[in-house]
């Protein structure tokens, strides 16, 4: 009987592996077909089910000038996909009693001329804060590199008006996530980069993930440089060579809204941790996936660092996009069916949205 049981278990395991293998072969063929319609895409695609990668491939160049190829371990700027890590640091500090979501921001940032705004408003993008980049662009000496302290200093000094009253509506705000990183530092007594490393990156073995300076990026052998195609030259040019992209240099020490760089594999480790209580309790995490309630009692489509929607077949979807000069990124998590899509692009491909919508559609046909 024991022999029969062992054989049965082995058979079922083999059947499961065969099933997964056939799924992977079929899905890879479908993704290849989709990418064939988008030959301009340059980046990494990862599609996983219950944490198992079914598709994981790299297409194109890490460096267009040297023709160095991308691989699945290439490191990309995440841009605004970074915001979910900022919100996680805030949630961790809340669990430790270091702050409350309903604390006013002036409790942690004295002198800031914006009343009635809470940490919750910042997390939900419902603060009404003005755009910090406009203030810095108008007044900052671009021969110097600014960080959060300088951004806060200029918001206090020039105090542009709020765009609306807190909680009145949803409006995406990079300023809010700059403030969240600074609040995290004030509440914890630690540098934000150190917090991310100690509380998230190292515990999750995200060994290729960090908040890097430009100099540190150059030392990463597998870093994917961001590029933009210039029609007049008929070639790709490094994104940081454009004057319109200079802000990534003179705002190069800002923290909170972006600047995390990572591999697709590390993002999958992050995805897996979000199904556990390794970082925060389940009920705490659930708040991140709950949309904001506005003053008029309607709801937005954004939680804490995550956009939220419902798929008619696969259920709840939490996701976030990112865009920096040369980069387009997205992570999509079907939390009820445990499917994950990660796309990292380093050539600002114009069809990026059509690709992730296409992969989305492929998964929607795979309920089981």
Note whether residue 27 is domain-resident. Answer: no
9-46 pLDDT tens trace? 333 333 344 456 888 899 999 999 999 999 999 999 99
pLDDT of residue 4 exceeding 60: no
- pLDDT-derived band at 255, boundaries 50, 70, 90: very high
Note whether residue 94 is domain-resident. Answer: yes
Note whether residue 17 is domain-resident. Answer: no
Note whether residue 12 is domain-resident. Answer: no
Note whether residue 21 is domain-resident. Answer: no
The proportion of the chain whose per-residue pLDDT surpasses 70, expressed as a percent, equals 93
**Which residues, listed in sequence order, are joined to residue 68 by a DSSP beta bridge?**
63
Domain of residue 190 covers 32-364
Contact predicate 129/175, CB 8 Å: yes
Contact predicate 38/354, CB 8 Å: yes
- Phi/psi at 210 (nearest 5 deg)? -165, 170
Q: How far apart are CA 276 and CA 84, in angstroms?
A: 16
CATH of the domain at 278: 3.40.710.10
pLDDT of residue 284 exceeding 60: yes
**DSSP single-letter state for residue 118:** B
Note whether residue 26 is domain-resident. Answer: no
Q: What is the mean pLDDT of residues 128-149?
A: 94
Q: Which of 13, 22, 80, 300 is catalytic?
A: 80
286-313 pLDDT tens trace? 999 999 999 999 999 999 999 999 988 8
**Total domain count, the chain:** 1
Note whether residue 5 is domain-resident. Answer: no
68-78 pLDDT tens trace? 999 999 999 99
Closest CA to 129 of 102, 152, 98: 152
Q: Is 80 in the active site?
A: yes
Note whether residue 2 is domain-resident. Answer: no
pTM, two decimals, is: 0.92
């Amino acid at each position: 009987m024991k022999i029969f049981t062992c054989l049965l278990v082995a058979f079922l395991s083999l059947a499961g592996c065969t099933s997964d293998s056939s799924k992977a072969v079929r899905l890879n063929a479908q993704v290849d077909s989709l990418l064939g319609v988008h030959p301009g895409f340059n980046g990494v695609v990862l599609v996983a089910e219950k944490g198992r990668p079914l598709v994981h491939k790299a297409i194109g160049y890490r460096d267009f000038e040297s023709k160095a190829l991308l691989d699945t371990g290439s490191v990309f700027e995440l841009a605004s996909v970074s915001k979910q890590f900022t919100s996680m640091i805030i949630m961790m500090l809340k669990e430790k009693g270091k702050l409350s979501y309903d604390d006013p921001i002036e409790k942690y940032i004295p002198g800031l001329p914006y009343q009635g705004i809470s940490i919750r408003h910042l997390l939900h993008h419902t603060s009404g804060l003005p755009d910090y980049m406009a203030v810095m662009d108008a007044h900052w000496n671009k021969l110097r590199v600014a960080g959060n302290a300088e951004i806060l200093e200029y918001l206090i000094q020039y105090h542009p008006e709020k765009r609306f009253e807190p909680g009145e509506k949803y409006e995406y705000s990079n300023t809010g996530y700059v403030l969240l990183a600074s609040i995290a530092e004030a509440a914890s007594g630690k540098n934000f980069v150190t917090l991310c490393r100690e509380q998230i990156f190292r515990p999750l073995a995200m060994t290729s993930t960090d908040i890097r300076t430009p100099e540190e990026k150059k030392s990463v052998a597998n870093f994917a440089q961001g590029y933009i195609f210039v029609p007049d030259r008929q070639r790709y040019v490094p994104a940081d060579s454009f004057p319109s992209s200079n802000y990534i240099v003179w705002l190069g020490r800002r923290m909170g809204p972006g600047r995390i760089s990572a591999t697709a594999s590390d993002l999958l480790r992050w995805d897996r941790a979000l199904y556990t209580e390794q970082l925060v309790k389940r009920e705490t995490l659930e708040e991140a996936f709950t949309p904001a309630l506005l003053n008029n009692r309607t709801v937005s489509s954004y939680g804490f660092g995550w956009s939220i929607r419902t798929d008619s077949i696969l259920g709840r979807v939490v996701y976030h996009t990112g865009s920096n000069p040369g980069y387009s990124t997205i992570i999509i998590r079907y939390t009820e069916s445990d499917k994950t899509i990660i796309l990292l692009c380093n050539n600002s491909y114009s069809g990026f949205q059509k690709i992730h919508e296409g992969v989305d559609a492929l998964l929607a046909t795979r309920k089981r």
